[in-house]
Amino acid sequence: MLGGVGRVPGSAAGAAFYRRPAAWQIAALALCWSEPVAAETVRRGVVSAAIDGDTVLLESGAEVRLVGIQAPKLALGRAGFRDWPLAAEARKALETLVRGAPVKLVYGGRRVDRHRRLLAHLEREPTPRRAALWIQGELLRRGLARVYTFPDNRSRAERMLALEREARAARRGIWRLRYYRVLGPEETRRYIGSFRLVEGRVLDAAVVRGKGFLNFGPDWRTDFTISVARKYRRRFRRAGIDIEALAGRRVRVRGWLAWQNGPMIEATHPEQLEAIEP
């Protein structure tokens, strides 16, 4: 059965309903998918401090959130919030990389968040003492961040995912710790309300009343599911992704786990999904 809000019963006999992937679709479903994003534009500044592992303060007083990644979080005075493992190390690494450095802020999507922080890729400019460096890429390479994209901010996603995979394979930084491991679908119910990577084989796939579902178990009341709302499916189609063709594929998804007739991650853009194998 297909789980989640609006999920409907299914059976093996209904498998013929689902479209199987044609050869061109399988070729298109590589390690990750992407579609065209906004052209990048640039401004400049000098970093005065690192606030945490993915946020810096400029000498101008502006805060910059390093777009496209999520580093381990510090509590920073928030009630009931505990530092995540390696949060202090991630902040120290970022400060070492950019404190006092001239930087370029490279925008490839939405430029300001609801906290009035600038949203940008941070590039350290070359000086006689230090080489140019893309900071998001370096943090991912060291295993001090995960890829964390949004529908309105997806530039460089493919490059970032590749760096994250490299760090995970080498067990660098956060990837040495159980806390950040990639979950199996059967583990997800214990981590509702958190941002997680989940990997498994899609047991069933369908589009029901315009909403896509990728189900990873036979019980729609309890098993993990990925949902793709009707309003988001257009992005997946533009990226060459047929939701129904993913039945039987092994995929990795990232996002916030919620409980909707079982653990669920809502996929809003193609970069959240990676195909692991046919």
| Domain spans of the chain, in order of start | 12-34+182-277, 41-153
Mean pLDDT of 21-30: 36
Give me the chain's average pLDDT, please.
87
Mean pLDDT of 192-221: 93
Task: Label residues 54-65 b or e (16+ Cβ within 10 Å = b).
Answer: bbbbbeeeeebb
pLDDT of residue 2: 36
Give pTM, 2 decimals.
0.83
pLDDT of residue 39: 60
pLDDT, tens digit, 9 for 90 and up, residues 169-198: 999 999 999 999 999 999 999 999 999 999
pLDDT of residue 275: 86
**Domain covering 41-153 in this structure, CATH number:** 2.40.50.90
3 state DSSP class of 105: strand
What class, spelled out in words, does domain 12-34+182-277 have in CATH?
mainly beta
Residue 39 burial by CB count (10 A; 0-12/13-18/19+): exposed, middle or buried? exposed
Residue entry with tokens 């000098």: 46
pLDDT of residue 88: 97
Helices (H), 114-169: 135-141, 157-169
CA pair distance 136, 120, nearest whole angstrom: 10
